[in-house]
A and B are shown apart, each in its own frame.
Chain A
Amino acid sequence: MSLLALLGVLSSTIFSGTSLLYATLGEVVTERSGTVNLGLEGVLLISAATGYGVTVSTGNPFLGVLAAMLAGGLSNLVFGYLVITRKANQLASGLAVLFFGYGLSALIGKPFVGKLINSLPRYMIPGPGELPLRYTSLFKFDFLIYLVIPMTFFIWWLLYRTRWGLGLRAVGENAETAYASGRNPGMIKFQALFVGGLLAGLGAAHLSIAFTMNWAEYMTGGRGFIAIALVIFSKWHPIRAIAGVLVFSGAVAFQLLLQVSGVNVSPFLLDMIPFILTLTVLLIWGGTRKHSAPATLGRVYQGTE
């Protein structure tokens, strides 16, 4: 196996892992406030289609990214209306948003199927500038890739070092206590959903505008569900989400490597590994998990009388 192939695998792993990390971060933020959005997949689809459509229409990929973020935030607010304002069941509402996303994204994306776009510009990583061209093309990344790790730390800082984050986590742990401390749990949950939606939008934008550079129905291929699993895997912690995505992308890379090197293992088998891994980890951590999951996760906040 050539070095080129190896680097190629690494590069595509980075590309595929980026959108996943953004989506996972977004779900970490919303789940920290006690809301689980099973419809994340649908939100990602809406954002991906919107971002792609705006990029095609305006010719400006940065506007596309912005539009995708906004679409993600707004989709999550629709979800918030159901589960916070109308106090509907979170699981059922998540599935409703999933279907909503399947449908709306197909509708938004249809006029743009097969259209070409200016993708996000890519910049060479500083350092190995002397490499031959066939190598360097593998190490030109768009700004969303460069941004994703700093963003992870930013989210951590936001959740663990600011008053807003403190209140948000308090709402997820015990909304009554947060209320007693003078906060408005419903409003904070909405804010968390919006921020989570913005992040999901970033991930979706990276997928359609920077990575695959096209739009197709159901193009997220279960990334929303994977992100939800990774949130559990990372024990609701932004920094650990990196590890989660690495495990997942590692499995993807492993699979690509085997393919490149001609080893004949079914890709389906390899695709299962991350899920089986996550399930196993869930079971092993089962006992301790109670302390890491936000205590009110998935529960409807009824308000105080």
Chain B
Amino acid sequence: MEQSSQQPLVSLRGIMKAFPGVLANNNIDLDIFPGEIHALLGENGAGKSTLMKILYGFYRADDGRIWVDGKETRIKSPADARQLNIGMVFQVLNLIPAMSVLENIALFLKDLPGLYNPAQIRKRIFEQSRLYGLEVNPDDMVAHLSIGVQQKVEILKLLLSDAKILILDEPTRVLAPHEVESLFEVLRKLRQNGYAIILITHKLKEVMECTDRITVLRAGRVAGTILCSEANHEKLVQLMFDKQLTAQIEREDLPRALDPVLELVSFSTHGEGTEVSLKNIALKIFPGEIVGVAGVSGNGQKELCDAILGIEKVAGGRKLLKAQDFTHSTTRKMRDFGLGFVPENPLTMATVPFMSVLENMAVTRTADYSRHGGLTMDWKLVQEDARQSLEKFGFTFSYYLPAKSLSGGNLQRLIIAREMMKDSQLIVASYLTRGLDVQSTLVARQELMRARNEGAGVLLISEDLEELFSLCDRLIVLYEGRIAGEFKPSETDYYQIGYLMTGSQGNHVTTH
């Protein structure tokens, strides 16, 4: 390809960005040329979105330099970025549902007069949309449009506001297959007309299908940049998922129990808005086993947890606990049965920030700790239980501190301790070790294993393949709300799981 002889439209050099506890971008270099579709590939948390938000002025880099059109620039806000003809379509679309397509586009026109003429804007929309096959009706309310059409509106909005560099953050995540196809068609036409397009994604199939060059990010660094023509799945998976060293966990081999503790029978939910619908999930978790859920986040993990908890409405199928029907039970009933739940975000999903550590420890089992029919609480007992379970993790903190004063890692430990405090029959753990240091990670994994060894059934959701392979007795892969495959860790490898996670294998492995 001849791009190397051209001057890049955008050059990033040595971009650094740290968030509390994590170095999101570590010395990143990137060149984008006019007329190319450039893929930014990587796992969640690899730093793709952060890097692009820096380019769009949403975040400011701690260090590093940016050139646009050969001139060094500082981008302090999205307004600066748009002035430089950089536009971005976010994962969560930014259209105003209560307004028409025309109004949404007019809002962002640089040359909108005080008294605007809708007919004129309508004409401009028609012209652009015909050019690129982005057919929309300018007078439709955005609220009535499908996500796919809304995305077209977003792209039109950028084109009409003179963007030359288009950043698309996981645009296919919310699209149906045929919509993906037409989106790629649009992108190819834009490429012909000299637009530079940056596509953030983790789906290998798409990358191979429609991009020119691929930059793989891993843990905040550039793992490599290769031409699409020279890439293959194996190479990319290797760049994306690097093996990391972790301490080994002792595992006892247990005889498999006869009856599952949790059984989902052709279980479905109906997702609204950006939620993913679970489709026909068949899953059994036996006492004394850890079932791992591999998958890129946003493929139904949150919905699966909520459905097991009883928060998400069940659209079809059944949920059985120890052969008893719990399909439509309340969360409290599930909790009373002995369900422990470690959510993906303990601050917003598990704790009450203004309540003390001790109160947060008690809040899932208020019935067990109340005395005199609820008139008083047995705080001594809570304290004793809390002390025991926190000690296992080798740390103590004041029980009277409000939960919001704890660091993210401590909060995670607190929740793990709480959810495994008493003998739970079923534990659902989502991103168990996110935010934990090496030591606590080890303890958390040991705790999970101990719970398993004592007979609990465990569902472990993770993106960390190393963790899944070292802990789980069985693995399922969740892709777009379906189970894309089920394996024993010994019978598969990272590559097979990685393919399924990224949806690059067309035919799903059916499990029955």
Q: Which residues of A contact B (CB under 8 A)?
A: 161-164, 166-167, 169-170, 173-174, 176-178, 180-182, 291-292, 294-295
Contacts and interface: CB of A to CB of B under 8 A. Distances in A.
B108 A181 contact: yes
Interface string B100-140: 00010011100011111010000000000000000000000
A292 B106 CA distance: 20
Given A164-B114, A167-B107, A294 B98 contact: yes
B143 interface: yes
A232 B94 CA distance: 26
A162 B97 contact: no
A180 B114 CA distance: 18
Contacts of B79: 180, 182
Contacts of B103: 166, 169
A177 B94 contact: yes
Contacts of A169: 98-99, 103
B150 to A, nearest CB: 13
Contact of A163 (B82, B95, B99, B115): B115
A161 B115 contact: yes
B115 A166 contact: no
Contact of A173 (B96, B108, B115, B118): B96
B148 interface: no
Nearest to B95: A177
A31 to B, nearest CB: 13
Given A182-B79, A295-B97, 15 more contacts: A161-B115, A162-B114, A162-B116, A163-B114, A166-B106, A166-B107, A166-B112, A167-B107, A169-B98, A169-B99, A174-B94, A174-B96, A177-B96, A180-B94, A292-B98
A62 to B, nearest CB: 29
B78 interface: yes
Nearest to B110: A182
A167 B106 CA distance: 10
Contacts of B113: 163
A180 B93 CA distance: 13
A169 to B, nearest CB: 7
Contacts of B112: 163, 166
Given A292-B98, A294-B98, A177 B115 contact: no
Interface in B56-109: 78-79, 82, 94-99, 103, 106-108
A34 to B, nearest CB: 12
13 contacts: A162-B114, A164-B114, A166-B112, A167-B107, A173-B97, A174-B96, A177-B95, A177-B107, A180-B79, A181-B107, A291-B97, A292-B98, A295-B97
A171 B211 CA distance: 37
Question: Is chain B's interface secondary structure helix, strand, loop, or mixed overall?
Answer: loop
Contacts of A291: 97-98, 143
CB-based closest 3 A-B pairs:
A173-B96, A181-B107, A163-B114
A170 B97 contact: no
Contacts of A180: 78-79, 94
Contacts of B94: 174, 176-177, 180
A167 B98 CA distance: 13
A294 B82 CA distance: 27
A173 B98 contact: yes
B115 A162 contact: yes
A182 B143 CA distance: 23
Contacts of A295: 96-98
A253 to B, nearest CB: 34
A167 B107 CA distance: 7
Contacts of A181: 107-108
Contacts of B115: 161-163
Contacts of B99: 169-170, 173
Chain A CB count within 10 A is highest, among B98, B114, B115, for B98
Contacts of A292: 98
Contacts of A182: 79, 82
A60 B98 CA distance: 44
Chain B CB count within 10 A is highest, among A162, A173, A176, A294, for A173
A235 to B, nearest CB: 11
A170 B143 contact: no
Contacts of A173: 96-99
Contacts of A164: 114
A167 B78 CA distance: 17
B432 to A, nearest CB: 30
Contacts of A161: 115-116, 118
Nearest to A161: B115
B114 to A, nearest CB: 5
Chain B CB count within 10 A is highest, among A162, A167, A180, for A180
B105 to A, nearest CB: 10
Nearest to A176: B94
B156 to A, nearest CB: 15
Contacts of A178: 107
A193 B116 CA distance: 23
A173 B107 CA distance: 12
Nearest to B115: A162
Contacts of B108: 181
Given A177-B107, A178-B107, A181-B107, A163 B116 contact: yes
A162 B117 CA distance: 9
Contacts of A163: 106, 112-116
Contacts of B114: 162-164
Chain A CB count within 10 A is highest, among B95, B96, B103, B106, for B96
Nearest to B141: A291
Contacts of B82: 182
A173 B99 CA distance: 9
B109 to A, nearest CB: 9
Contacts of A167: 107
B335 to A, nearest CB: 31
Contacts of A174: 94, 96
Nearest to A162: B115
A240 to B, nearest CB: 15
Contacts of A294: 98
Nearest to A180: B78
Contacts of B107: 166-167, 170, 177-178, 181
A121 to B, nearest CB: 33
Nearest to B96: A173
B203 to A, nearest CB: 27
Contacts of B97: 173, 291, 295
A176 B96 CA distance: 10
Contacts of B118: 161
B344 to A, nearest CB: 23
A291 B99 CA distance: 10
A180 to B, nearest CB: 5
A295 B82 CA distance: 26
A193 B107 CA distance: 21
Nearest to A174: B96
A172 to B, nearest CB: 9
A180 B87 CA distance: 11
Nearest to B113: A163
Nearest to A160: B103
A220 to B, nearest CB: 31
